[in-house]
Structure 1
Amino acid sequence: MRTAAVIGTGLIGTSAALALSQRGVTVHLKDHDPDAARTAAALGAGTTDEPQGPVDLAIIAVPPAYVAATLAEAQRAGAARGYLDVASVKGGPRRDLEALGCDLSQYIGTHPMAGRERSGPLAATADLFEGRPWVLTPTPATDTEVLNLALELVALCRAVPVVMDADAHDRAVALVSHTPQLLSSMVAARLEHADDSAVRLCGQGIRDVTRIAASEPAMWIDILSANPGPVADILAEVATDLGETVEALRSLQSADEAKRRDGTAGIERVLRRGNAGRERVPGKHGAAPAVYEAVVVLIGDQPGELARVFADAGAAGVNIEDVRMEHSTGQQAGLLQLMVEPKAVPVLTAALRERGWSIRQ
């Protein structure tokens, strides 16, 4: 691949353009908002100049509802040898393309499983896709050359290709992406009018659950409008669980001992089902989740503190498998959880204490 066109210079389009430009591909940028394209170009993502003839690959990076019309226009203009989109749903845009009579041999639907709470070209980074799954949804009509161009794009962005059926993809992202977004927003909405005294008690649990609630509503309206059925199906199942959980909690308030036992059993069921589901979430490097233990370090909010604790862990010969940070409300300190293999806990604990760190049990 020597040349590419990115149509839509938001977070995903600009990030892909940055990655391609850094690897020697000439990228031509286009957006319905010229300022967005110029901003992406100023960041080094490519040029706003029109290409002199067809490019190797056109990347359609617009909301799902606009994919078909945008791609059809590009095909009519003979803009590229191959075309792909990066929208977060796949079945709807493909059916729209069929209805418009587009040449599907030149097209493949894709979806990089990467993103941020912020949107727009200024949020883009060349390494956004590194190590992330990038779903490809070829059809029997997809030309081998187009599939190879898509695989080359994934490789240049240092992502991991995953081949799926388009409708299976949409059901999957409804479960692992779209429904969690709505649930996060619903939990965060409970905080909007909560007493200040309650909000001040926010700890890491509520921060984890509500992190993605900071996402841009307009972007999510576009996404959810393109995949409403599968999301509604999963939310209906969640609603059933919520109803049963509410009933179980009410039973715990009963004076009847049998009802209280039923309530306890109901709560235990949902918690254990949650344990079982969480265990299926892939762990480090996509492997089965490993069991790690936390070494909790009190750390000050000062420049260089994180670097120092990581350096001390490295000097002790301990590999940090994961990191979590819990900030202390109203204090210039936090609790840093260093996740390590169980056998490394005494080694790391002793080494950090020797270097003056305060370890919390």
Structure 2
Amino acid sequence: MRTAVVIGTGLIGTSAALALTERGTTVHLRDADHDAARTAASLGAGTVEPPEGMVDLAIIAVPPARVGQVLADAQREGLARHYTDVASVKAGPRQDVLELGCDTRSYIGSHPMAGAERNGPLAARADLFDGRTWVLTPMPDTDTETLNAALELVALCGAVPVVMDAAAHDRAVALVSHTPQLLASLVAARLEHAPDNAVRLAGPGIRDTTRIAASDPRLWVDILSANAGVVADILEEVAADLGGAVSGLRAMEAADAAKRGEGAAAVADVLRRGNVGRARIPGKHGAPPTRYEDVAVLIGDQPGELARLFAEAGRAGVNIEDVTIEHSTGQQAGLVKLAVAPGAVPTLTAALRERGWSLR
């Protein structure tokens, strides 16, 4: 792939442009917001100058509702040999593409399963897609050369391709992405008018649960409007579970011991099913989930302390599988939890104590 055009220089479009540029592809940038395109160019994502001829691939990085029209316009212009979009919903754009009479032989839908709470070119990173799944949803007549161009794009961006039907993709992302976004926002909304002394008690649990609630509402309205029915179906199921949990909690306040037991059993059932569902989420490199153990280390809030801690683990020959940081309220310190394989705990603990670290 020698040349490409990225239409839409938000987070995803600019990140793809940065990745391609790093690997030697000449990338031309377009955006209805010319300032956004110029910002992306200033970051090294490509050039705002138009291509001199037909490029190898056009990447359409616009909201789902605009994909069909942008594709139609680009194909009329003869912009590229092959076309793909990176919208997070596929069935709606697919229908628009068909209704607008686009050339579907040179088009393939796609969706990189990556993102961030922030949007726009300034949030972009060349490594955003490294190791992430990138879904491809070919049309029935998508030609082999177009599929190969999309596969090359995925490879150049460091992602892992997965081919899916468009409708199956939308059902899947409704479950693992779109519904969690709304639920995170619903939980975070409880904090809007909460007393300050309550919010000060917030710890890593509420931070983890509400992290994606910091996302751009305008962007998510565009996404959800393109997959609204499927998300609503899942939320109805959640609402039924929520109603059962509420009834169970009310029963746990009853004077009657039998009712309290029934209520506790209903709440326990929700928690148990949550355990089962959580355990199904793939672990490292897509492998079955692995149980790790935490080594908790008290760390000062000074430059270089976290790097020094990681270096100590490396010298001990211990691989850190995950890390979480709990910040202490009102203190210049925090608690770092290093998730490691169970067999590595004694080795890491001994090494850190020997080097003077305070373990908890």
TM-score grouping bracket, smaller chain normalisation? over 0.9
Question: In the TM superposition, what is the alpha-carbon distance from 1:288 to its structure 2 partner?
Answer: 0.4
Instruction: State yes or no: 1:223 paired with 2:217.
Output: no
Question: In the TM superposition, what is the alpha-carbon distance from 1:139 to its structure 2 partner?
Answer: 2.1
State the Cα deviation string for residues 269-289 of structure 1 (Å, max 9, x = none).
011100000000011111001
Cα distance between partner residues in 2 of 1:88 and 1:234: 17
Cα distance between partner residues in 2 of 1:328 and 1:111: 39
Instruction: State yes or no: 1:206 paired with 2:206.
Output: yes
3-state DSSP class of the match of 2:27? strand
Question: Where does the alignment leave 5 or more consecutive residues of structure 1 unmatched?
Answer: none
3-state DSSP class of the match of 1:282? coil
State the Cα deviation string for residues 230-273 of structure 1 (Å, max 9, x = none).
10011000000000000000000000111011011111101110
3-state DSSP class of the match of 2:359? strand
- The amino acid across from 2:285 in the alignment is H
TM-score (norm: length of structure 1): 0.99
3-state DSSP class of the match of 1:4? strand
Aligned to 2:292: 292
3-state DSSP class of the match of 1:335? strand
- The amino acid across from 1:336 in the alignment is V
Instruction: State yes or no: 1:274 paired with 2:287.
Output: no
Aligned to 1:126: 126
3-state DSSP class of the match of 1:331? coil
- The amino acid across from 1:81 in the alignment is R
Aligned to 1:21: 21
3-state DSSP class of the match of 1:285? helix
Question: Where does the alignment leave 5 or more consecutive residues of structure 2 unmatched?
Answer: none
Alignment of 1:318-337 (within 5 A): 318-337=318-337
3-state DSSP class of the match of 1:303? coil
3-state DSSP class of the match of 1:334? strand
3-state DSSP class of the match of 2:191? coil
Aligned to 1:314: 314
Aligned to 1:197: 197
Aligned length: 360
Cα distance between partner residues in 1 of 2:127 and 2:161: 16
TM-score (norm: length of structure 2): 0.99
3-state DSSP class of the match of 1:249? helix
3-state DSSP class of the match of 2:146? helix
State the Cα deviation string for residues 184-240 of structure 1 (Å, max 9, x = none).
000000001001110000011000001111001110011001110110011000000
- The amino acid across from 2:4 in the alignment is A
3-state DSSP class of the match of 2:338? strand
State the Cα deviation string for residues 36-78 of structure 1 (Å, max 9, x = none).
1111111111111111111010000000011001110000111
Cα distance between partner residues in 2 of 1:87 and 1:331: 43
Cα distance between partner residues in 2 of 1:331 and 1:186: 30
Alignment of 1:1-361 (within 5 A): 1-360=1-360
Cα distance between partner residues in 1 of 2:233 and 2:327: 36
Question: In the TM superposition, what is the alpha-carbon distance from 1:326 to its structure 2 partner?
Answer: 1.2
Cα distance between partner residues in 2 of 1:137 and 1:325: 38
Cα distance between partner residues in 1 of 2:171 and 2:33: 32
3-state DSSP class of the match of 2:336? strand
Cα distance between partner residues in 2 of 1:109 and 1:301: 46
Question: In the TM superposition, what is the alpha-carbon distance from 1:336 to its structure 2 partner?
Answer: 0.5
Question: In the TM superposition, what is the alpha-carbon distance from 1:346 to its structure 2 partner?
Answer: 1.4
- The amino acid across from 2:71 in the alignment is L
How big is the alpha-carbon RMSD for the aligned residues of Structure 1 and Structure 2? 0.7
